[in-house]
Amino acid sequence: MRERTTSLSAARRRASRYFWALDDSKKLSEAQREEIFAQLAADPAVRWAAAAREAAEIDASNILAACEDAMAAAVRALSDGNGSNDDTGSNGGAPCAPDAILVDGARVPPSLAPPAQPAPVSAVVKGDAKCSNIAAASIVAKVLRDRRMAALDALFPGYGFSRHKGYGTAEHRDSIARLGAPPSPRPRAARGTEGAESPVH
């Protein structure tokens, strides 16, 4: 079963308020990510939006192109105040155009570079370990992924989605060999591994 990519953008004011808790999301436990996510979601000064791409879209281009397209969609959803299109999610609120866009990675996607986006854009290698905005975006992305994987696990017991989170682990491959590939879930049933986070402020 092909995982879906997830990408998100997060608008943050008062970033320093959460600096003590923000770190590379891979270093945090699932419970720690959930706790930080709850704080971010409850703060009216923090805005985020997320977007995902389906397996068919990935196959039609490639994982990088699909991920970059999702990044741009997340930024648009944040800027438009619309978090409901194309299996995106957001914490709502009025439109929040970014002052700047930080991409976790080594390159700026063309879909986020001027003139596609008026805000200045920077790529930050290992950004989730260096920048609180990117760390926040990464945490939100993983929380959304984990919740969608839990929903998928309930739909298709025996595949271990809650444990491997959609990654191509030995358990994942073995379950497909034993049970066959599960049917594609409904669009809102599950979200796979996150591709990249695009935090903005």
Q: How far apart are CA 147 and CA 189, in angstroms?
A: 10
Using an 8 Å Cβ cutoff, are 66 and 195 in contact?
A: yes
Question: How much is the pLDDT for 73?
Answer: 86
Phi, psi of 91 (to 5 degrees): -100, 20
Q: How far apart are CA 71 and CA 77, in angstroms?
A: 10
DSSP secondary structure string, 134-186?
HHHHHHHHHHHHHHHHHHHHHHSTTS-HHHHTT---HHHHHHHHHH-PPPPPP
Tell me, what amino acid is at 190? A
Strand extents, DSSP E, 26-149: 46-53, 89-90, 101-104, 121-124
Structure-token pair, residue 158: 């025996």
Q: In tens digits, what is the pLDDT along the chain, a chain of 201 residues? A: 444 444 555 555 554 455 555 666 778 888 989 988 888 888 877 888 888 877 778 788 888 888 888 888 888 888 776 653 334 456 666 677 788 888 988 989 888 888 887 888 999 998 888 888 888 888 888 888 888 889 889 999 999 999 988 888 899 889 989 998 877 553 333 333 333 344 443
Which structural domains are found in the chain, ordered by start?
A: 5-197 (3.30.420.10)
Residue 188 has a pLDDT of 32
For position 199, what pLDDT does the model report? 42
Model pLDDT, residue 184: 59
